[in-house]
């Protein structure tokens, strides 16, 4: 079974930065499409950023220019660098794994943004 463990969340002031990490085990990390989703209270879960196995990336309009997704295939680790954080970015962030029609996600890590 694919296991995904997120870390790096916490409390940060608006305008600050955080770096989220996702440690993956099982599956085939290098050939999988990886990404980050988030869900805020009272809102639907939404895609934040994605990274294909070939290196292509895409971002939600709300985070373009502020967030950067990257991956370290040698260590089966996915990252999300979050800069210029806004109050609207507060949510639980989930690491996602997609390959061969299957989708997995981790337990999530909480990001809280204060004014």
Q: What is the pLDDT of residue 4?
A: 98
Mean pLDDT in each 10-residue stretch from start to end of the chain (115 residues)? 97 98 96 98 96 95 98 97 98 98 97 97
Nearest Cα residue to 20 out of 43, 38, 41, 46: 38
Q: What is the pLDDT of residue 2?
A: 96
Alpha carbon separation from 109 to 28, 52, 58, 87, 95 (Å, rounded): 23, 22, 21, 16, 9
Q: What is the pLDDT of residue 12?
A: 98
Q: What is the pLDDT of residue 9?
A: 98
């Amino acid at each position: 079974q694919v296991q995904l463990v997120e870390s790096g969340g916490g409390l940060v002031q608006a305008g600050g930065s955080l770096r989220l990490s996702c440690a993956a085990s099982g599956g085939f990390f290098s050939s999988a499409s990886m990404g980050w989703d988030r869900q805020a209270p009272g809102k639907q879960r939404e895609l934040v950023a994605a990274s294909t196995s070939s290196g292509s990336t895409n971002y939600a309009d709300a985070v373009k220019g502020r967030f950067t997704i990257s991956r370290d295939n040698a260590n089966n680790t996915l990252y999300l660098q979050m800069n210029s954080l806004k109050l609207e970015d507060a949510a639980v962030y989930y690491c996602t794994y997609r390959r061969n029609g299957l989708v997995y996600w981790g337990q999530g890590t909480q990001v809280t943004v204060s004014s």
